[in-house]
Amino acid sequence: MGMATLVGVANGNTGKRSGRSTRRSAGRTGGKAGKTEKYERGTRSYTMSHIRGKDTTIEVLVRSYLFRQGLRFRKNDKRYPGHPDIVLPKYHVIVFVNGCFWHMHESCGKQTMPKSNVEFWNAKLMRNRERDCRQHRQLLESGWRVIDVWECELGAKTRDERLERLHTQIVDSTEPHIDETNDSRWDALAVQAA
């Protein structure tokens, strides 16, 4: 838990946000302030806690939205490369919900390199990136449409719009999918998917 206390400082968060809900509750809620989010969004510990295969906040967010829209899917399906977060056989669509740090999202504020162990992180994240790309290619070659949803797209301001677009991307096979991901690593794949 040491990391959780450190990260706020590292990111310059003042913690002011948490003062909002104190509402003279006479100490009863003391210590429970952060219970919905164990870590502040966008911090190292937050993203580190979002490794594929666990039911993380962003995955649950996307899944529950799709479920409410009446879509049915498989979770973390180990039969496919990358154990995709969401598999929709009916539409032949696979959705990955990516943490921006862990999956090295390009041109994204959340994708900042740690200041220590730079070589280690560089190598590790580059391996992740290459693996993502390889797995996407395999899935495309098997005829799946692959959609990436990024953590930063699920922030409060853009979330609704992104989820609606995701729904359209899933149910309407003429919608672009791979080239909508805002990340140049898929450029070559987009050509392939077209």
| Nearest distance in Å: CB 184, Zn ion | 13
Interface positions, 140-169, toward Zn ion (CB under 5 A): 150, 152
Which is nearer to Zn ion, 65 or 102 (by Cβ)? Answer: 102
Question: Which structure tokens are listed for 92?
Answer: 């032949």
Q: Does 136 bind Zn ion (CB under 5 A)?
A: no
- The residue (of 68 and 124) whose beta carbon lies closer to Zn ion is 124
Closer of 74 and 129 to Zn ion (Cβ) = 129
Measuring CA to CA, which residue among 71, 64, 122 is closest to residue 92? 71
CA 172 to chain centre: 22
Verify binding: residue 100, Zn ion, rule CB under 5 A: yes
CA-based end-to-end distance of the chain = 46
CB 5 within 8 A of CB 39: no
Inter-residue contact 65 to 73 (CB < 8 Å)? no
| HEC readout, 75-109 | ECCCCCCCCCCEEEHHHCEEEEEECCCCCCCCCCC
Q: Which stretch binds Zn ion (CB under 5 A): 26-34, 98-106, 115-123, 173-181?
A: 98-106
Q: Which of residues 71-90 bind Zn ion (CB under 5 A)?
A: none
- 3-class DSSP assignment, residue 135: helix
Does residue 108 touch Zn ion according to CB under 5 A? Answer: yes
87 or 152: CB nearest Zn ion = 152
Residue with Cβ nearer Zn ion (71 or 149) = 149
**Assigned token pair, 151:** 């953590």
**Binding residues for Zn ion (CB under 5 A):** 100, 105, 108, 150, 152
